[in-house]
Amino acid sequence: MSEIRFDGRVAIVTGAGTGLGRSHAMGLAARGAKLVINDLGVSADGVGRSSEAAEAVADEIRELGGEAIAHGADVANEEDVADMVAKTMEKWGRIDIAVNNAGILRDKSFAKMTMDDFRKVVDVHLIGSACVTHACWPIFREQEYGRVVLTASSSGLYGNFGQANYGAAKAAMIGLMNVLHIEGVKKDIRVNTLAPTAMTRMTEELLPPEAKDLLAPETISSGLMYLVSEDAPSRVILGAGAGCFAQARIYETEGITLLPGDNTPEAVAAAFAQVQDPTGQKGLADAFSQTRKYAEKAAKAQGLPLKWTD
């Protein structure tokens, strides 16, 4: 297989001042990409503001012979993001890659969490990812080329105590990816989701010290670089950590069909083992695929003709 390179490509990486974002940015720069290092410079819980971390990473890339600029946009602020995108276009005239990595944590059990803490986390992760991608989207469409990565988490895919806000925001990335994949496919805009597990400032208090080297951010960034390469897949949820990579998928079981006279909650309860039976389960291409599946199954069960207009 030929070497994956990013020569001539311009990438925006959010939250790139430290940890995983920095690792992504350094990896892309080492393979020829021009980088926009975005970092608001806040603490792990989103407090404060400083450009030092972003400037330091941009300086490091330039010292190594690469091209980089720093920008301290708040990813959830449309005016900040518009300025970042405008300055990128002024500098290089194109944007090819958007890596949405910025995030914060405000962990508490749901009973103790304030709605302000819930909204802030969702704002940074979900609205921030949407803002950056939305600002880049017209450029991608005009170029007929774009690569987007959204950052999810096992907390969103599988749940984690004390992270209702973070888990909800991270699970939302899957829905955003699914729609953007469908809307972008004709313009060669490929959209994927990375679900990483790494030792960063956001997780260091949760993991034992001996896990530090195993779960270094650098063990993940090779997967990220594939997801934004020219030959990248699209609509993939890539789990990554400690050099391990796996695809997470959403399936729907074959399920059951209840006739109108039998469609009661008791009937659903009685057949629930069959509802959950994984035999024959499959992924669905889009929301209408589920609608079509159910309508076809119901029509067949009732002996009714059904013709689609498409």
Residue 198 has pLDDT above 80, yes or no: no
48 pLDDT above the threshold of 70: no
**% pLDDT > 70, the chain:** 93
Across the chain, what does the average pLDDT equal?
Answer: 93
74: pLDDT confidence band, cut at 50, 70 and 90? very high
Q: Above 90 in pLDDT, residue 42?
A: no
What mean pLDDT is predicted for residues 66-85? 97
Provide the pLDDT for residue 72: 95
Q: What is the pTM of this model?
A: 0.92
Active site annotation includes 145: no
pLDDT of residue 61: 98
Q: Which of 158, 166, 251, 294 is catalytic?
A: 166
Query: What mean pLDDT comes out for the span 264-278?
Result: 98
pLDDT at residue 1 greater than cutoff 90:
no
User: What mean pLDDT do residues 26-42 have?
Assistant: 94
Q: Which of 3.40.50.300, 3.40.50.720, 3.90.76.10, 3.50.50.60 would CATH assign to domain 10-248?
A: 3.40.50.720
Instruction: Quote the CA–CA distance of 28 and 101 in Å, as a whole number.
Output: 14
Domain boundaries, given as residue ranges, for the chain = 10-248, 260-302
- Model pLDDT, residue 46: 53
